[in-house]
Amino acid sequence: MRFVVFVLVIANVGFFGWSYWQGAQAQPVQPPAAVAPLQLATARTMPATQCRSLGPLHDSEQALAVSAALTARGVGSLVRQIDRKVTEGNWVYIDGIKSVAERQRALQKLRRAGLRDVAEMPGAQYAGRISAGIFVDPGAAERAAQVRSAGFQPVVEERQHTLTERWLNVEWNVGATPVAPADLGIAESADPPVSWADCPAVAASG
């Protein structure tokens, strides 16, 4: 009798375990919670810029002052320096008069002919030369004719000197109006006038 009871207990325990296992297997699997898809942050669109150049500025002090005025407005700038040849005019002179005595006689003869502003040139590089002045045509041609009439052979030579100019390159937003030169401390009567222009590389490409 005890054996029968023991068998029944074992059978009940086994059935209870099997039923619990079957119930666990039958439970539905919950789907994962929905996750919003990742989105890339939209990159900020930077405004288009163009290079503008302010000048010509006469010296480094003026360039520094104007650059500081731009910096005070939150605008950076870069100095661009260029050297260009400027024609002064045509120099009329007489060359090849070797001795001091010959040069003195030539000066007297030229002055008697009405050329009062002739002068002997100092320095070893101008030895034997008498200057009759620098002129812009037609003045140079007229002076050369006067020298020739006085009995001398004139030489007409173009005279140039190197002029250094400074410009400030600035990146401005396209469509924006640059600061007026007068607001940066530049006199409106500046000679030559100071103004904005396209940077050389931009002007060359466009």
pLDDT, tens digit (0-9, with 9 covering 90-100), for 107-160: 999 999 999 999 999 888 888 999 999 998 899 999 999 999 999 999 999 999
Pairing mode of beta strands 49-57, 195-198: antiparallel
| pLDDT tens by residue, 150-190 | 999 999 999 999 988 999 999 988 888 899 999 999 988 88
68 Cβ contact list (under 8 Å, min separation 6): none
Determine the distance from the C-alpha atom of residue 195 to the mean position of all C-alpha atoms in its chain, rounded to a whole number. 14
Backbone angles phi, psi at 84, to 5 degrees: -135, 150
> Is residue 139 classed exposed, middle or buried when 0-12, 13-18 and 19+ CB atoms within 10 A define those classes?
middle
pTM comes to 0.55
Tell me whether the omega of the peptide bond preceding residue 154 falls within 30 degrees of 0, making it cis.
Answer: no
- Percent of the chain predicted with pLDDT > 70: 75
Q: pLDDT at position 114, please?
A: 94
Contact 166, 60 (CB under 8 A): yes
| pLDDT tens by residue, 134-146 | 998 899 999 999 9
> Is residue 190 classed exposed, middle or buried when 0-12, 13-18 and 19+ CB atoms within 10 A define those classes?
middle
The rounded distance, in Å, linking the Cα atoms of 164 and 58 is 8
**Residue tagged 């002045």 (tokens):** 133
The rounded distance, in Å, linking the Cα atoms of 186 and 197 is 16
In angstroms, what is the C-alpha Rg of the chain? 47
Kindly list the structural domains of the chain, giving each domain's residue range(s) and its CATH number in brackets, ordered by start: 49-84+164-205 (3.30.70), 87-161 (3.30.70.1070)
Whose CA is closest to 72, among 184, 156, 154? Answer: 184
**Residue tagged 């103004």 (tokens):** 195
